[in-house]
Structure 1
């Protein structure tokens, strides 16, 4: 299997990964950390998809997609932390004043999990951040110590996934997800 990573610019492919089955449903669309909480709560149904379509036209894009034989099979959200909810999140600390990028969602479609796609997505997210001059990249995965993480909560990744990609723990957080503490993992890109 040759996984191809591309910037997320195709609405149909992004919708296949993070959009709802029904257009009027209020699913995340990977907006909950990307935009301010108040704005996120005000967007309903098809407004959410329309907002994502607008984000896909921006430079830099809001994330990356993984493809297997042309089929979209994975998504990772990556963007400058200053443009996300993590800029003001009181539970996730700032390590320093650098203009770091955040990776907050890694999603692989059912039927494609267990094939290393999350590793390819994380590497692709790092590459996108590096391409745009990010001095460092952060993720906020669960520190699950090898225990099973509920699939609906696994979108943040695990500490091991980030360690395997060269990230190191930079700080503890006050955030807990699925009963596991989240840690701030960081990869300095050495501009």
Structure 2
């Protein structure tokens, strides 16, 4: 069994965040900025700019996410924070079914996972999700949402699973509050 430690993505861990985000999927080009800016801004922003945007976030408090270490190596990432800081979410048509006001600072969101290819299949997403819930709770969140993919509605490539998998959220106690598309759910957990 590997030794897994999960820690906040703070400024002293920028190299670890870079490593976790560049091991497969779109993390290398996105740098977990997809949900933080509008589509027009995202398209106009270079990868280097996105790297700097994430590093700026990592200098703030609370950290914008968590990094999973497997046997000391940065192996995974989850973005967790106040939902109102994720500017793209209320602009995303499929997520418009939210039941809570978009500007409510007590609602947090888990919006993005990245697990390096060599660490997939060991339950790292579930561990990151559990740690993200604890992190949100410790920072005063009343509710935490997720926007996972339901893989039972059809096979998905790993790149399309950056939102997480519905079965992992369900196993962690989240309940479905909306189903905007057959393969996409909005889930929530009251803290």
TM-score (norm 2): 0.86
- 2:34 maps to 32
Deviations 1:120-172 (A, max 9, x none): 00001111111110111111011221743211111111110100111010112
1:1-16 superposed matches below 5 A: 1-9=2-10, 10-16=13-19
SS in structure 2 of the partner of residue 160 of structure 1: helix
Query: Which aligned segments of 4 or more residues in structure 1 are displaced greater than 3 angstroms?
Result: none
CA distance in structure 1 between the aligned counterparts of 2:58 and 2:90, rounded to whole angstroms: 21
Match of 1:77 among 76, 79, 85: 79
1:17-96 superposed matches below 5 A: 17-19=20-22, 27-84=29-86, 85-92=88-95, 93-96=97-100
Asked whether the equivalents of residues 78 and 103 of structure 1 are also in contact (C-alpha less than 8 Å), the reply is yes
**Alignment gaps of 5+ in structure 2:** none
- 1:116 maps to 123
Deviations 1:18-54 (A, max 9, x none): 2499xxxx81111111223333222213222111111
1:99-138 superposed matches below 5 A: 99-138=106-145
Asked whether the equivalents of residues 143 and 159 of structure 1 are also in contact (C-alpha less than 8 Å), the reply is yes
TM-score (norm 1): 0.86
The structure that is helix-richer by fraction is 2
Cα deviation for residue 7 of structure 1 reads: 0.5
Q: In angstroms, what is the RMSD of aligned CA positions? A: 2.0
**Alignment gaps of 5+ in structure 1:** 175-179
Residue 139 (str. 1) matches residue 141 (str. 2): no
